[in-house]
Amino acid sequence: METTTMPLKGVKVMDLSIYVAGPACSSILGYMGADVIKIEPVKGDPYRLSGRGYGVPAEPDMNPICDSCNGYKRGIAVDFRSDEGKEILRRIASSADIIVTNYRDKALKAMGMDYEEIRRVNPKVVYGYFSGYGTKGPEADRPGFDATTFFSRSGFAMRGTYKNEPPMATISAAGDSISSLGFCVGILGAYIRARETGVGDKVLSSLYGNALWVMGISIAQGQFGYVGPFPKERPGFIALSCDYECSDHSWIRICGMSAERYWGPLCKAIEREDLTEDARFATSKAQHDNLEEARAIVQAEFIKQPYEVWAGRLSKNDVPFERNCLTSEISSDEQAWSNGYLEKVVYENGQDVALTTPPFSYQNTVPDADQKRRGPYLGEDTRDVLTEYGFTSDEIDVLIAGQKVLQWQGQEAKSHA
C-alpha cells in the first residue's frame, strides 16, 4: 500500500557545506523528505564554477554539475562575515535537527557555527562534520579533495595502474559521492538516537576514512603481497577476472571469481572446451600462477568476434560479464531509466539534462509532488526562508539592499559569475 509520507518528512536540515561530499549528503537527506536549506555565501558555492573546466554549462540558471549534488533543497545566500549574516545562521541552527558542514574549524568559529557553540542553544542537534583527513593526527588541518585525499592517499589511483603508465586518472567527484553515503549513514544513526533521547551528537567523517573503507579488501591483500611487482602488467588475479578486447574494439570485463565454478562455462562460450580440464587453468590457484598465459589464450579468442556475439555466448553460459561503457552512453541507458536511476531536469532555457538520483528508492512511498531534482539557484528561496525564521518583509528588504543576503532575481543574480 502506497503512502505519501517520506521517511524524513518534517526533519529540518541546515546544509552549510560546499563542493560535493557535504552537499551530496544533504541532497540524499532531502531526497528522503527532509526540508534541506542550502546556505551559501553571497558569491555562491565555489562548485558552481566547476562546469567551466569541463565545457559544461555553469550559468546562474543552468548548472548541471552543481545540481548533481544539490537537488531536493531550498537555497539562500548570506554574507557569513556580517553580524546580520551570523544572526541568520544562528536562527536556522537553533531549530535544526541536522547540520551538515565541511568548512574547516577556523571558518566555523568565525561564523559562530562550531559544534560547541551550536550545542549550547540546540543540544538535540546532530552536527555532521566532514573533513579531508579526519580531526586527529598531524594532518588533521590539511585541505582535502577528492582527487588527492580519496584517490591518491588511499592507494586507489595506483591500484588500478598498468605497467609503465602514470597513476590512473581520477573520476570527477566519485570519491566525494561515495563518501557522502557513508557520511549520511552516520548522521542518520545519530538522528535516530537523538529523536529517542533528545541528545544530539557530532558525527565525524572524512574523505580519507571513506577511501580506506572502500579500499579495505585491497589494503588487506597488500599486507600479504598481493600487489607483488608493481604496477602489474594488467590488473587481475585469474583470467576470469580481466578485461578483453573484442573485434569491434569494445572492451568486455569478465568477473568469474572462481575458476572451479566459471572456467568450464567460459571455455564453452569461447569454444575452447579442450581447455576445461587443463591443469594449468582448472583451479583458481593454478590460474593465478599461470595468469598471463591463460589471459593471452582467452584474449586470442575474444578478438575474433564483436561484443554482441560475446554477450550472447556469455549470457547463454551464465558467465558474469559487462561491456566497459562510456559515461556519455549512460543518459540513454534503458535500464537506468527503468529503475529511476536518472531523472530528466528541464531548465528554463528549454534544454534538458539527465541527472542521477540517490541509489535507492522506496517501494511503498511516493515522493512529494513538489520535490525537485534541480538544485536551487543562488539565493532562490532567501526571502521565503527568512520569513519562516521570523524576519519581516521590511527587514528582508534592508538585508537585500545592504547585500547581507542575496535573493534570486533571474539572470540578474550573477554574484558568482
- Which residue numbers are catalytic? 176
**In the sheet where 12-16 sits, what is the strand order?**
201-206, 126-131, 98-101, 12-16, 35-41, 74-78, 405-406
Residues 40, 75 contacting (CB under 8 angstroms): yes
Residue that has been written with the C-alpha cell 525537485 in this structure: 372
Q: Report whether 99 contacts 128 (CB < 8 A).
A: yes
- The number of residues in the chain equals 417
Long-range contacts of 134-142 (CB under 8 A, 24+ apart): 134/204, 134/206, 134/208, 134/209, 135/204, 135/206, 141/104, 141/105
Residue 89 contacts residue 112 (beta carbons within 8 Å) = yes
Radius of gyration of the CA atoms of the chain, in A: 25
Contact 40, 381 (CB under 8 A): no
Do 321 and 311 meet the contact criterion of CB atoms below 8 Å apart?
yes
At residue 61, what is the residue type? D
